[in-house]
Structure 1
Amino acid sequence: MDVEIVGRLLSTLPADDDHPYRTGPWKPQTTEWRADDLDVVEGAVPADLDGVYLRNTENPVHPAVRNYHPFDGDAMVHVVGFRDGKAFYRNRFVRTDGLLTEIEARSAQWAGISERPEWAPRYDGWGARGRMKDASSTDVTVHRGMALTSFYQCGDLYRVDPFSAETRGKETWGGAFPVEWGVSAHPKVDDATGELLFFNYSKQAPYMHYGVVDAANELVHYVDVPLPGPRLPHDMAFTENYAVLGDFPLFWQADALAQGVHLPRFHRDLPSRFAVVPRRGGTDRIRWFEAESTYVLHFTNAYEDGDEIVLDGFFQGAPEPADNGTGDKWERAFRFLALDRMQTRLHRWRLDLVTGQVREEQLSESITEFGMINPRHGGRPYRYAWAATGKPSWFLFDGLVRHDLRTGAEERLSFGEGVYGSEAAMAPRTGSTGEDDGYLITLTTDMNADASYCLVLDAARVADGPVCKLRLPERIASGTHSTWADGAELRRWHTADTAAHAVGL
């Protein structure tokens, strides 16, 4: 492995830190690496794997004002690239406005999700889009050859070079970016059209917008999606002709919010609602569908089936887990992050466009979340989803499940005791013909070996274990959302010389 340290940030976190989401598997990094020709620990890099895997990470540089929540951490993007049987690695902090301000101040300047906004030196109202720190640490996607990082409470989209992981400023869409509202995490890119679909939300009426950026990177559609009040949506879905947005009964308590306190509560007496809007349709064409009360953090996919929209995602049986008195103070405080406590299971909703009715069914008994699909099937009929399993009581991924949605069959891989993975992206094999003809890629944090690895798995045979295992320069912090970008598509937007230099090939 050809390794070079290209940067290091000065952390002010305490040496005796005992917070479980800043220590152990979540211990943040300060070093930025450039590593080419990664060491192969097991197997061989597939010659027909061409592209980059990107993962975003909450990676705090400074202590919280008082109470740290893992969603508050600063963004760090990890890149593992593959071409011609070789692999490289890069990681960089995303140079957000918030991070740069706090580096200069050498301390936290904004309140986090578990803090009162007035506790912080900078107070701008807090939350969706009332200006808590825009860490841009939630999601990452790729549009027109550029990676875009985003924040769950709505913020700017930061442009990140998908080869070098270096920040290239903010996305502006030619000056049309909705700065006051920002963009939520989980904008969706339709591989078939080149469009980017997004939503945002706020504490101000109409409380939600939906927009479309076309293949030329122009904001061509932006409409109100009126809601009954402030909500906390997190994800969206799309089909060939429609966008699907959610209004779930987990949202800030109205009386507390009026006092400036952001206290989320689950209102079980209210239904879940789905807004279906034609992809270029106006507010007057939104149709609402009511379903069983729950909260959905992530959808896997949606598609049209005759007069119905089939929508798949993870139904939470307990969106507000009760404190049953078990576990230590940390397990109890962060029970809202544990998949087993929230009881997340793959679920299907069928929205009938003729009758307005909704039919629901549970697709699996297994507790899984953070599902990924073959990106070529986004918005189209599909069969397979690859999802994470969670360590009981903790926000850590301890394995993977391949869901066959046609037969109900499941195939599992456990990472092993003390080993935790990332959201696994599906990378179609060069020249692939089948939906599961490709590879599953994830990064692991191995506490036993004090090391991190990139695992490459056969997407059709997950239980067989890795076909390739690559060592990274250091043990990385645990993390969540990821994406895959096809190499040939990236090279359309980057010159051959730039791309070759970036990957060390």
Structure 2
Amino acid sequence: MLHIFDHGHSTVKFPNDNPYLNGPHKPIDLEYTAKGPELEVVGEIPKDLQGMYVRNGHNQIHEPIGRYHPFDGDSMLHAVWFNEGKVEYRNRFTMTTGLLAERAAGKSLWPGIIEPRKAVRRGWGSIGKMKDNAGTDVIVHGGKIIVAMSQCSEPYRLDTRTLETLGPDENWAQALGDRGICSHFKVDEHSGHMMFFNFAEEPPFMNYGVVDAENNLVHYVPIDLPGPRWPHDMGMTENYCVLHDLPLYFDHEGLKQGKHRLGFHRDVPSRFGVIPRFGTNEDVKWFEAEPCYMLHLSNTYEDGDEIVMDGCIIGNPIPDMSDLPKEGYERLNRMLDMHTTETRMHRWRFNMRTGETKEERLDDTITEFPMINGLHNGRDYRYSYNALPQPGSWLLDGLKKYDVKTGQTQTFMMPKGEFVSEAPFAPRLNSKSEDDGYVVTFVTNVNTGKGECVLFDAANIDKGPICRIIMPYHIPTGAHAFWAGPHMLYENGVSLAD
């Protein structure tokens, strides 16, 4: 069955010279549901895989105001449900307030992250001038999907089965005011708690909060920072969270004049604040480390007196641009090229007794978008499944599995013209070990013009895909993804695992 649900009525002009509106990034305006014979299967869909793989992404629907950045587009979710060897696929826009307004107007009403000065309307996010596109992160919590953008936005909820937008969370969105929630909220699958942060250009520059398993906001406190910052992720352990104060931020004097120019302050140490899960600003213990920036963590856990945090450190967040023309997209390409920004797997150890920080490089490979077995999130773990970026682009063309206990790795590179998405781990039913399951990802295939959902045996990703599910249409490259097993999915208030 192939059912066309709606069209977004795109007004993006083609041809254009923006690389992030073309090729594998080209947005789609079609929403549909597909299952049965409409989904060609190469290989066999595992019968011991049950749950939902969902990926968020920035899918621009209207001709942009100013230069388009790949973090500007409207949120579109793509999801595949697995059950007893059968699959069903849907994609839907997140109907944010901004998207609804632009649909009514038939054009873009807000600029993006590159040229916020062109804003004429009140906006959302930490800059306060962008549309709330909700296109960065996605998780499942309390039986519903939640999405948000990296600059902080309203916490939009969607139905886990239909992908229908339910609106900002009715329990606690209003309690956050215009601060909203930043991407990279963390779910503890054991307690059901969701930890989050937000940030802004006015004091308090950061807030930290906890939503319980029943979806009640049970903790929300301000965090003191020296000034406006630009954090992207946070760490979570069984008893603590780790907040980031990194030396990549907007010039303070420039902000007073409405200018948003990021600078990397190489003489300012990175700071990491370890806070008890229900702690306050007075409970934060700050640790200094080498100046850096980072986007994404693999995992954070407790090891005796130490908090261990693994993730992808960015050693050169503002690369040299002196050889590039000031116009065109070459500068943006270089800023987004992870080979230029030097993104690698790294480990920090924060000793809660001595206050000492220790750091070590885990690998020299350029890598990003790490994912782990969700049941080990915040706890001791062994495996991280990372994406490998293509040099010179914002595209991912391979996967690398890390055994952080032994240092062993496995790698698989996609054929030319095929690009993966963030690839979470999906356990088999009744799995027996941490990597007893599958790695699942969407593939953008520019050779065929059709998207794919691809499965790897998580224990042997270097052997390549064991199953490829071919979609009827193109799936653009995206942002973050999540695996929700039966224990996280609900129908009529009852978990599918019951």
Instruction: Pick the TM interval, shorter chain.
Output: over 0.9
CA shift, 1:206, in A, is: 1.9
Whether the 8 Å CA contact 1:413–1:462 is kept in 2: the answer is: yes
Whether the 8 Å CA contact 1:40–1:468 is kept in 2: the answer is: no
CA shift, 1:450, in A, is: 1.3
TM-score normalised by the chain length of structure 1: 0.95
**1:213-235 C-alpha deviation (Å, 9 max, x unpaired):** 11111111111111000000011
CA shift, 1:166, in A, is: 1.5
CA shift, 1:110, in A, is: 1.3
Whether the 8 Å CA contact 1:273–1:288 is kept in 2: the answer is: yes
Q: Which position in structure 1 is the counterpart of 2:303? A: 305
Q: Which position in structure 1 is the counterpart of 2:25? A: 26
What letter matches 2:136 in structure 1?
T
Give 2:128's match in structure 1, choosing from 123, 127, 130.
130
CA separation of 1:150 and 1:427: change in aligned 2, threshold 3 A = same
Question: In structure 2, what is the Cα distance between the partners aligned to 1:491 and 1:45?
Answer: 23
Question: In structure 2, what is the Cα distance between the partners aligned to 1:139 and 1:467?
Answer: 27
Q: Which position in structure 2 is the counterpart of 1:107? A: 107
Q: Which position in structure 1 is the counterpart of 2:314? A: 316
* Aligned ranges 1:174-189 → 2 under 5 Å: 174=172, 177-189=175-187
Secondary structure of 1:140's aligned partner? strand
CA shift, 1:129, in A, is: 5.4
Question: In structure 1, what is the Cα distance between the partners aligned to 2:366 and 2:173?
Answer: 43
Secondary structure of 2:375's aligned partner? helix
What letter matches 1:421 in structure 2?
V
Please tell me whether residue 83 in structure 1 is matched to residue 83 in structure 2: yes
Whether the 8 Å CA contact 1:316–1:342 is kept in 2: the answer is: yes
* Aligned ranges 1:147-296 → 2 under 5 Å: 147-174=145-172, 177-296=175-294
Whether the 8 Å CA contact 2:319–2:334 is kept in 1: the answer is: yes
Question: In structure 2, what is the Cα distance between the partners aligned to 1:162 and 1:21?
Answer: 29
CA separation of 1:492 and 1:301: change in aligned 2, threshold 3 A = farther
CA shift, 1:61, in A, is: 0.6
Structure 1 stretches of 4+ with a deviation exceeding 6 A read: none
Please tell me whether residue 419 in structure 1 is matched to residue 418 in structure 2: yes
TM-score normalised by the chain length of structure 2: 0.96
Q: Which position in structure 1 is the counterpart of 2:69? A: 69
Whether the 8 Å CA contact 1:144–1:493 is kept in 2: the answer is: no
CA shift, 1:64, in A, is: 1.5
Q: Which position in structure 1 is the counterpart of 2:383? A: 384
Secondary structure of 2:87's aligned partner? strand
**1:78-122 C-alpha deviation (Å, 9 max, x unpaired):** 0111001001100000000000111111121112110033x2342
What letter matches 2:80 in structure 1?
V
Q: Which position in structure 2 is the counterpart of 1:57? A: 57
What letter matches 2:478 in structure 1?
G
Whether the 8 Å CA contact 2:40–2:471 is kept in 1: the answer is: no
CA separation of 1:465 and 1:417: change in aligned 2, threshold 3 A = same
Give the gaps of 5 or more residues in structure 2: none
Secondary structure of 1:462's aligned partner? helix
Question: In structure 2, what is the Cα distance between the partners aligned to 1:427 and 1:15?
Answer: 38
Q: Which position in structure 1 is the counterpart of 2:395? A: 396
CA shift, 1:63, in A, is: 1.6
Q: Which position in structure 1 is the counterpart of 2:9? A: 10
Q: Which position in structure 2 is the counterpart of 1:450? A: 449
Secondary structure of 2:102's aligned partner? helix
CA shift, 1:304, in A, is: 0.5
Whether the 8 Å CA contact 1:188–1:197 is kept in 2: the answer is: yes
Q: Which position in structure 2 is the counterpart of 1:332? A: 331
CA shift, 1:49, in A, is: 0.3
Q: Which position in structure 1 is the counterpart of 2:46? A: 46
Tell which deviates more after alignment, 385-394 or 9-18: 9-18
CA shift, 1:398, in A, is: 0.6
What letter matches 2:112 in structure 1?
G
Q: Which position in structure 2 is the counterpart of 1:470? A: 469
Secondary structure of 2:12's aligned partner? coil
The percent of aligned pairs where both chains have the same amino acid is 44
Question: In structure 2, what is the Cα distance between the partners aligned to 1:163 and 1:322?
Answer: 46
CA separation of 1:493 and 1:238: change in aligned 2, threshold 3 A = farther
CA shift, 1:289, in A, is: 0.3
